[in-house]
């Protein structure tokens, strides 16, 4: 089987581990820079090109799409989908997960626990919004923020109003979210592959830091999830249509609350914290999906 990893950087830990695991399990590994791919459309003949060459001999793709190229990356994935190439991340699921507002709306409708969140573009609603999320302290998030950037903890009502007014003045889209103080600057990352949790870690922010992102200096350790935490992570991934996902949750008095679902979760933190071969689990899942697809084709032909 020929499996392509869509990544712009061959030196990234996640990219290297996926390529290694593909080869280790006896498959042909290909690295494709999706930013250098382009699509050509004509009647009933969709193609993905890399330079002057068509990419038409790949059995499966593993997209690792950065936030800055979500739109372009989704168009490349969509073209592979039209060519009937298996993908661990659908173009629709990528777009859903990258839109923080849309993803929270989907999770809310699916009955997944989330911190109470508000969104508005009308500055005069500030007082009402602060009240709706339970008052201060509260979290203010830029919709376009990643890896803990664009997130502010407002300790007082005056601070919250000042930050929100500043963001509105810049025409920025922001979410205002309930602050879960009992989480104590920690969250859980559950790694879901094919509807199963294959690894989980607890991330703790450094002293005085409410963000637990490892990129912000936080630490991590393996954690054994409760039954409800596993169920919540799996339900969140399914609601967004993600086969591979990093589900971030807070432990609260109301149970696990999902704060984000990552469609291109990094492997370094989870593999080092758990000692598990998460990359291998992803490749094994692809094998199972391709085998099931081939069996259905044979059964159909047999009929």
Q: Are residues 80 and 140 in the same domain?
A: no
Distance CA 239, CA 108 (A): 10
The verdict on residue 186 lying in a domain is no
Classify residue 277: in a domain, yes or no: no
Residues 129 and 64 in one domain: no
The domain total for the chain is: 2
DSSP E strands: which ranges in 167-224?
174-178, 186-193, 196-204, 219-222
Q: Are residue 123 and residue 78 in the same domain, yes or no?
A: no
Q: What angle do CA 148, 178, 260 make, to 5 degrees?
A: 40
Q: How open is the CA angle 246-28-19, to the nearest 5 degrees?
A: 35
**209 within domain boundaries:** no
Among 48, 35, 103, smallest CA distance to 81 is for 48
Q: Is residue 133 part of a domain?
A: yes
Task: Assess if residue 69 is contained within a domain.
Answer: yes
CATH code at position 82: 3.40.50.20
Domain boundary among 179, 197, 228: 179
Provide Rg for the chain, Cα atoms: 21
For residue 267, being part of any structural domain is answered with no
Give the residue from 149, 179, 209 where a domain finishes: 179
Residues 11 and 84 in one domain: yes
The answer to whether residue 21 is domain-embedded is: yes
- Global pTM reads 0.91
Residue 135 lies in a domain: yes
Which CATH number is 132's domain given?
3.30.1490.20
9 and 70 together in one domain: yes
One digit per residue, pLDDT tens: the chain, 303 residues? 999 999 999 999 999 999 999 999 999 999 999 999 999 998 888 899 998 999 989 999 999 999 899 999 999 999 999 999 999 999 999 999 999 999 999 999 999 999 999 998 877 788 899 999 999 999 998 887 555 578 899 999 999 999 998 988 888 888 999 999 999 889 999 999 999 999 999 998 776 555 555 555 578 899 999 999 999 999 999 999 999 999 999 999 999 999 999 999 999 999 999 999 999 999 999 999 999 988 877 776 665
CA–CA gap between residue 185 and residue 102 (Å, rounded): 25
Residues 6+ apart with CB under 8 A from 224: 200
Final residue belonging to a domain, choices 179, 206, 229: 179
Q: CA–CA separation, 117 vs 73, rounded Å? A: 28
Domain span including residue 152? 116-179
């Amino acid at each position: 089987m020929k499996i392509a990893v869509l990544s712009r950087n061959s030196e990234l830990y996640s990219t290297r581990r996926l390529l290694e695991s593909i080869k280790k399990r006896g498959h042909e590994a290909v690295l494709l820079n999706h930013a250098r791919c382009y699509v050509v459309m004509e009647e009933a003949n969709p193609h993905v090109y890399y330079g002057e060459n068509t990419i038409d001999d790949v059995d499966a793709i593993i997209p690792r799409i950065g936030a800055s190229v979500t739109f372009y990356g989704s168009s490349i994935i969509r073209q592979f989908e039209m060519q009937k190439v298996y993908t661990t991340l659908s173009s629709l699921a990528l777009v859903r997960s990258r839109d923080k507002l849309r993803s929270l709306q989907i999770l809310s409708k699916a009955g997944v626990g989330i911190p109470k969140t508000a969104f508005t573009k009308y500055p005069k609603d500030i007082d009402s919004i602060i009240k709706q999320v339970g008052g201060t302290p509260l979290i203010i998030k830029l919709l376009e923020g990643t890896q803990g950037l664009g997130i502010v903890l407002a300790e007082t009502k005056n601070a919250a109003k000042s930050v929100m007014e500043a963001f509105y003045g810049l025409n920025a889209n922001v979410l205002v979210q309930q602050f879960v103080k009992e989480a104590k600057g920690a969250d859980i990352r559950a790694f879901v592959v094919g509807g199963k949790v294959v690894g989980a870690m607890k991330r703790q922010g450094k002293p005085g830091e409410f963000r637990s992102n490892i990129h912000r200096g936080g630490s991590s350790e393996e954690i054994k999830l409760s039954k409800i935490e596993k169920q919540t992570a799996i339900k969140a991934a399914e609601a967004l249509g993600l086969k591979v996902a990093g589900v971030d949750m807070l432990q609260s008095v109301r149970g696990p609350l999902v704060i984000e679902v990552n469609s291109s979760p990094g492997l370094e933190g989870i593999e080092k914290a758990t000692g598990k071969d998460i990359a291998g689990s992803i490749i094994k899942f692809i094998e199972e999906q391709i085998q099931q697809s081939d069996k259905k084709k044979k059964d159909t032909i047999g009929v």
